[in-house]
Amino acid sequence: MPRLSEVIAALDVLWPPERAEEWDAVGTVCGDPGAEVTRVLFAVDPVQEIADEAIAVGADLIVTHHPLYLRGTTTVAASHFKGRVVHTLIKHDIALHVAHTNADTADPGVSDALAGALGLRVTGPLVPENGLGRICELDHPLTLREFGARAAQRLPATAQGIRVAGDPDAIVRRVAVSGGSGDSLFDVVRAAGVDAYLTADLRHHPASEATQHPSPSGKLGLVDAAHWATEWPWCEQAAAQLDEISDRHGWDLRVHVSKTVTDPWSSHHTSGAPN
């Protein structure tokens, strides 16, 4: 069995920590570098439900996309929910490793996994300077309505579901995708000349402006999915990458992907009050 330090070294090749944004908190949160690793659990969020799942499957290591402590802390007391996660992990000899913005810009990275889940062909990065996001082509043209339905069918189910902005009958051939929050990229999306943009966490004003602003291919269609749903496909991609490394090194790791929905929204009601 490999040591934790060996597994982390392999993961750092996949998602080099130096590629993370300066504000980010990636790398190993807890764990003994000399401890043996036999099972690994991949998940989006390092929350208590994931820690409990790791215990249930006998994992020695959790790899998450989101950091546990993004802004730092002065305490890991178990009286706080994040501290309770740390106590749970240490008590059960479970390490935690984070690959966040360094996984966003990796090749393959988060947006490649998102494109793959949607059956899209990647033609290049959305932001060439750092490799963020992807420009993609559909296997055959769809209306914006049909493309939104494809996203709803192929991404994990969440309370939010899929929101679509734009002419539902507009034809979509080229799309941009970016896993996670993506409304900071509207300028580069418009410049890319795509027909639609699929991402998460779209806010009212940026979305409204984006649908009204003409682009080289006409008005932009928007497909807004839940943040968690756009990043969960990366877990499966990352697990497959570690499986390949394990086979190459003869590690015989058991790799699991959590299917626990850790999206914070739990229900959805369509509003119908009169104006």
DSSP-based three-state secondary structure for 255? strand
pLDDT reported for residue 213 = 77
| Closest alpha carbon to 33 in 86, 101, 93, 76 | 93
Whether 92 contacts 55, CB under 8 Å: yes
Instruction: Supply φ then ψ for residue 211, to 5 degrees.
Output: -75, -20
pLDDT reported for residue 218 = 72
pLDDT reported for residue 192 = 94
Place of tokens 């850790």: 262
Token representation of residue 88: 């749970």
List per-block mean pLDDT (blocks of 10 residues) for the chain, which spans 275 residues.
Answer: 97 98 97 98 98 98 97 92 97 98 98 98 97 97 98 97 96 97 94 96 94 75 98 98 98 97 94 74
pLDDT reported for residue 273 = 72
Question: Residue 3 has what DSSP assignment?
Answer: B
C-alpha 149, offset from chain centre: 20
- The reply to whether the predicted model has a pTM over 0.85 is yes
pLDDT reported for residue 200 = 98
pLDDT reported for residue 219 = 86
Amino acid type, 43: A
